Amino acid sequence: MQQKILLVDDREDNLLSMEAILEPDGYHFVKATSGRHALKILLTEFDFALILMDVKMPNLSGFETASLIYEREKLRHIPIIFITANNFGEENIFKGYRTGAVDYIYKPINSDLLRAKVSVYIDLYQKNRRLQIQEQKLKAINKNLENEIAERKASEEKVKQLNRQLLGNITLLESANRDLDRFAFMASHDLQEPLRKIRTFSDLLATKYKEALDGDANSYINRIQNAASRMQSLIKDILAFSKLTGEKDNFEFTDLNILLDEAMGDLEVTIREKEAHISILEPLPALEVKPGLIRPLFYNLISNALKYSKEKVAPHITIRYELTSGQGSRIVDNREMAGKYCRIFVEDNGIGFDQIYAEQVFEMFRRLHVSSAFEGTGIGLALCKKIVEKHHGFITATSKANEGTTFTITLPVYQPVKVSLQG
């Protein structure tokens, strides 16, 4: 970029002479024939690298012009070299320096000296400008950093506030859940006694007075017995669900086949009545689980498949598994179990459901089919979801109407090790 030099002299020949000497160095020149002319130029142009100005000029001398120039903040960075034909005394020389001049060049002008001095001041000007630009950049960077720090502090404070609110909400929620579980347990437990009396006395009526009562009366008694039976199943499931929250972490390395056989044994009568066929493609592996929870998990999933089977079609249930690897590693019995997970698939050929309801089937009391057509309380699959989550796993359902359902249970082979943070 060409550096601009302002040449100020009341004589045209002096201006041409300075321009001729400095032109080979590639500078850009702006010429003023008086101090007032120079001030007029400097009203609109501020990017001069140097001013070469004659001291002795009519109206405004070089010293007076320099004083007026340096009154403006925008012009104070421009160095001024005075050109003079007189050898001033020290007092006048100091006067020039006090106005802001950086040097003197005496007439007749020595071209080499002029070029050398101009070169030095141009170089200083360029370095000074680079420093100024760098300073502006640093100021901008510092301003941005200050803004970022202020924003980060505000964000951190907001996060802390949200964390405090979250911790408070978690505490309230945990307390509410405990109260709700206690209420469900107590309510269900207290309902057992009057329900037993309803069933006992309705059974006595049905047995002792069956012949004495007409058909409508026996039908009413039968409805009471069925309703009481459904109520007892509901209470049993609510109790199982509420007890699950208080289960302690007593994980054991357990053969899943034993738990599966026990669940199938409990369903033996239903399996035989429905002429169901259950295929276990290969023995299930051993996992670190809570046996008391995995047993009802298998029970509810197989029971669900039996319950929602197609009419006049024998239920066919297939159980299989696969091992997958995740992240992390753990050595057990000289074997590396690198974050392994076991996926257990329970597939059936039942009535299925639309996949859009795949999440809803695990909600409490959610039933996709008419309750009169299929018995149940709507708690079984919600219980399965809670059991799987207790094992740090997850359960999903894949289904299609009239084409069966596949439940996928993903469980870690080994439960995560709890690490206590201290300090």
pLDDT digits (tens, 9 = 90+) for 108-148: 888 899 899 899 888 888 888 888 888 889 988 988 888 88
CA-to-CA separations, 371 to 21, 241, 270, 351, 405, in angstroms, rounded: 107, 20, 19, 15, 19
How high is the mean pLDDT of the chain?
Answer: 81
Compute the half-sphere exposure of residue 357: CA atoms within 13 Å on the CB side of its CA: 14
Do residues 87 and 14 make contact, with C-beta atoms less than 8 angstroms apart? no
- 419 φ/ψ angles, rounded to the nearest 5 degrees: -110, 125
C-alpha distances (whole Å) from 211 to each of 161, 216, 223, 361 are: 73, 12, 17, 44
CB 409 within 8 A of CB 343: yes
Q: What percent of the chain has pLDDT over 90?
A: 23
Question: What is the mean predicted confidence (pLDDT) over 171-188?
Answer: 71
Residue 187 has pLDDT above 70, yes or no: no
pLDDT of residue 334: 37
Give the mean model confidence (pLDDT) for residues 164-191: 75
Kindly give the pairing relationship between strand 277-280 and strand 316-325: parallel
Q: Which one of 3.30.830.10, 3.40.250.10, 3.40.50.970, 3.40.50.2300 gives the CATH number of domain 4-109? A: 3.40.50.2300
**Predicted pLDDT at 183:** 66
Q: What band does 92 get if pLDDT is binned at 50, 70 and 90?
A: low
Handedness of CA 86, 89, 90, 91 (dihedral sign): negative
Question: What pLDDT score was predicted for residue 372?
Answer: 47
The pLDDT of residue 422 is 44
Which of 305, 300, 307, 263 shows the shortest CA–CA distance to 284?
263
Confidence of residue 370 (pLDDT cuts 50, 70, 90): very low
- Asked if the 248-412 domain carries CATH number 3.30.565.10, the reply is yes
- For residues 158-166, give the mean pLDDT: 89
pLDDT digits (tens, 9 = 90+) for 298-346: 998 999 899 888 888 899 999 999 988 754 444 334 344 446 899 999 9
Mean pLDDT of all residues in 202-228: 79
**CATH 3.30.565.10 intervals, the chain:** 248-412
Distant-in-sequence, close-in-space partners of 406: CB < 8 Å, separation ≥ 6 = 345, 346, 347, 348, 397, 398, 399
Closest CA to 184 of 241, 144, 134, 253: 241
**How confident is the model at residue 335, as a pLDDT?**
40
Query: Where is mean pLDDT largest: 73-82, 194-203, 225-234?
Result: 73-82
Residue 420 has pLDDT above 60, yes or no: no
Confidence of residue 213 (pLDDT cuts 50, 70, 90): confident
Q: What is the CATH number of domain 144-246?
A: 1.10.287
**Per-residue pLDDT, 330:** 41
- Express each pLDDT in 235-251 by its tens digit: 666 666 666 655 555 78
Please give the pLDDT value at position 243. Answer: 60
Share of the chain above pLDDT 70, in %: 80
What pTM value is reported for the model? Answer: 0.49
Tell me the CA end-to-end span of the chain in Å, nearest whole number: 61
Q: CATH 3.40.50.2300 residue ranges in the chain?
A: 4-109
**CA triple 184-190-196, angle to 5 deg:** 125
For the chain, what is the total number of helices (H) and then of strands (E)?
Answer: 10, 14
Q: pLDDT-based confidence at 105, cuts 50/70/90?
A: confident
